[in-house]
Amino acid sequence: MGKAESYLDEVLGAFPFGAPVVGAVRFGQGHINDTFVVHTQPEDRCCRRFILQRMSAAAFKHPDELMENIIGVTEYLGREIERSGGDRERETLRVIRPGNGEPYYTDRDGGAWRLYPFVEGTVCCQSAETPELFAASGRAFGHFQRLLQGYPAQTLHETIPHFHDTEDRLAKLRAAVRADKLGRSPECREEIAFVEERAADCSVALRALREGLLPLRVTHNDTKLNNVLMDQATGAGICIIDLDTVMPGLSINDFGDSIRFGANHSAEDETDLGKVNLDVGLFDVYTRAFLEGAGGTLTEAEIEYLPWGAKLMTLECGIRFLTDYLEGDVYFHINRERQNLDRCRTQFKLVRDMEEHWDELTEIVKKYR
Ligand code: ADP
Ligand code: GN1
Ligand code: MG
């Protein structure tokens, strides 16, 4: 499969844009899919934009199942949003089918492409520029989980098996270390040891799930700040995007992944670890907002385990970056060498910070129970 750009002519011709396409350029900062913004020029009105994506073949083995999930979830959300007087065109994604009526288009080399309207009047943030903005994202992700409370979970396909199975992620890291395909393991010795010291932690949430303490819910599973679009005028988190991993999962993981990415003031691939620090104030702000958004849907045990969600999602993400580095950067997009190793290091620095501030984190959570 070649570079996504080389298929654009073919793919643009397959979708009903309703007006001439005037351009398509790469867009956003996702690590997984190839995302383009498409500009069209209707005769009688201003430019209309679309989001065109080639779904990652490395991440998603069954695009048909993936799109069935997304269509099911977005239609359900659309109905829920309408029922409460919202605007479904702005508050959820909508899949636009190609001319052949399928849910997505398959290019000449088997690449799977989908199309959404661009949600206008929104911004997508890469870092929590203000506490208010971070709170708005927390409210939106909490609310998302609440909206999907009644969704028939058994109809959802597992788009990535064992996605947040931290025990399995640990096993995959160990296998990558053993194989050491590119001879990169010596430079990762400290990081590998860091994980081994925390091997038992990898079972904490899964054990609570197995013991029936934590319930399985329909969750987003990839709750980075840049997976929610904020209203440009009000700053409210209005549209949750990147629905590829909506599957049965743990609410604490949705909480935790947001903390991992947003409760600090550095980039995920920052090389100066002195700049990478957990912001406990932002943890507090997010906890409150997430619980507000979830509106009483979380159980006492789920709330109690929120700090574990934060620590485990951060540790797991570091493990995944490290595994990908050892395997030759085959999963996460990179734009420079060692980027996945740098990403791993920021995650482990944050895990350390969480451990150091553990009592404060548990106190914060208690405050909002
Ligand atoms: P990835 O899985 O690679 O992260 P995303 O679905 O998150 O892909 O899309 C990447 C980026 O594209 C998002 O972070 C956001 O900036 C932008 N984006 C995606 N969908 C839309 C949309 N419907 N409207 C506006 N921007 C969007
Ligand atoms: C990926 O798709 P994106 O960029 O929003 C990844 C997440 C990781 C994240 C790390 C499907 O998220 O699981 O936590 O990168 N998504 C998938 O930044 O693997
Ligand atoms: Mg994304």
The predicted structure's pLDDT at residue 46: 84
pLDDT digits (tens, 9 = 90+) for 325-355: 999 999 999 999 999 999 999 999 999 999 9
The predicted structure's pLDDT at residue 43: 86
Nearest bound ligand to the CA of residue 261: 2
In this structure, the residue with its CA closest to atom 13 of ligand 1 is 28
Under DSSP, is residue 226 helix (H, G, I), strand (E, B) or coil? helix
The predicted structure's pLDDT at residue 44: 81
pLDDT over 90 at 2, yes or no: no
Amino acid code (one letter) for 147 = L
The predicted structure's pLDDT at residue 135: 98
Query: Ligand 3 centre and the CA of 240: distance in Å?
Result: 10
pLDDT over 90 at 361, yes or no: yes
pLDDT over 90 at 32, yes or no: yes
Under DSSP, is residue 357 helix (H, G, I), strand (E, B) or coil? coil
Mean pLDDT of 66-75: 98
The residues, any chain, with a CB within 8 Å of residue 352's CB and separated by 6 or more, are none
Do residues 136 and 144 touch, judged by C-beta distance below 8 A?
no
Cα–Cα nearest to 112, from 155, 54, 68: 54
The predicted structure's pLDDT at residue 62: 98
Q: Which helix (H) or strand (E) holds 247?
A: strand 247-249
Out of 43-47, 112-116, 130-134, 328-332, least confident range: 43-47
Mean pLDDT of 20-44: 95
Q: How confident is the model at residue 191 (pLDDT cuts 50, 70, 90)?
A: very high
Tell me, using a 6 A CB cutoff, whether residue 284 lines ligand 2. no
The predicted structure's pLDDT at residue 183: 98
Mean pLDDT of 187-191: 98
In this structure, the residue with its CA closest to atom 5 of ligand 1 is 242
The predicted structure's pLDDT at residue 172: 98
Query: pTM of the prediction?
Result: 0.97
Query: Ligand 1 centre and the CA of 139: distance in Å?
Result: 19
Query: Ligand 3 centre and the CA of 317: distance in Å?
Result: 14
Angle (deg, nearest 10), helices 339-356 and 306-327: 160
The predicted structure's pLDDT at residue 238: 97
pLDDT over 90 at 369, yes or no: no
Tell me, using a 6 A CB cutoff, whether residue 254 lines ligand 2. no
pLDDT digits (tens, 9 = 90+) for 260-316: 999 999 999 999 999 999 999 999 999 999 999 999 999 999 999 999 999 999 999
- Residue ranges around ligand 1 (CB below 6 Å): 27-28, 30-33, 35, 51, 93, 116, 118-119, 124, 226-227, 229, 241-242, 244
- Structure tokens, 282: 């932002």
Q: Which helix (H) or strand (E) holds 117?
A: strand 112-117
Beta pairing class for 21-26 and 34-40 = antiparallel
Mean pLDDT of 192-217: 98
Q: How confident is the model at residue 134 (pLDDT cuts 50, 70, 90)?
A: very high
Query: Ligand 3 centre and the CA of 93: distance in Å?
Result: 13
H helical segments located in the chain: 8-12, 63-83, 88-91, 131-147, 166-179, 189-197, 204-210, 251-262, 280-294, 300-304, 306-327, 339-356, 358-367
The predicted structure's pLDDT at residue 45: 81
pLDDT over 70 percentage in the chain: 100
